[in-house]
Amino acid sequence: HLRHCPPWAITVHAVGHGEMVKAVADTLSGLPTLVLGVTVLTSLGEDECKEVFVRTPEEQVLRLAEIAVNAGAHGLVCSPQEVKELHRIYPHIILVTPGVRSPGGDVHDQKRVGTPRQAQDDGARFLVMGRQILNALNASDPVAEVRRVLTKELGILI
């Protein structure tokens, strides 16, 4: 049924290993849908990563990125803290970056965050800023908040 109305992207947790990522990529072959390999959630910091993966966040992100890319992912989901290195290693890969906050913005439960400018300058193609926009003072008009952030942080006028 996806062939009738394909989504622009589907995320797959790379921790599920390459076979899972490859199965999704193979299933979507011929569709315009991007397969994005999720690396390490931005809510996991150094301590959590060492406990769960026995690696630092950076080490685990690089390992999962390699698995996802080798399995056919078109892009990766990673924190702003890993964008620069992933863009250096995989310049052709689309990087989607959650954990993006305006300078001084509330990070909520996120441990590995960065600013829109940092993420964009380091190579992110798509920024994810859900809570900052939804919880904004003028949340009754989230589009206005998106415009404000893009104008103030990135100099983009929309």
Paired residues of 126 in beta bridges = 96
Burial class (CB in 10 A: 0-12, 13-18, 19+), 5: exposed
Does residue 65 have a pLDDT over 80?
yes
In angstroms, rounded to a whole number, what is the distance separating the alpha carbons of residues 31 and 39? 23
In the chain, the percentage of residues whose pLDDT exceeds 70 is 94
pLDDT in tens, 111-138: 999 998 999 999 999 998 877 777 766 5
Q: Where are the domains of the chain?
A: 9-154
Amino acid at 146: V
Percent of the chain scoring above 90 in pLDDT:
61
Check if the beta carbon of residue 99 is closer than 8 Å to that of residue 80. yes
For residue 1, what pLDDT band results from cuts at 50, 70 and 90?
low
Residue that the structure tokens 């404000």 belong to: 148
What residues pair up with 36 in beta bridges, in sequence order? 11, 75
Q: Is the pTM of this model over 0.85?
A: yes
**Token output for 12:** 């797959």
Amino acid symbol at 75? G
At the topology level, CATH places domain 9-154 in TIM Barrel (3.20.20)
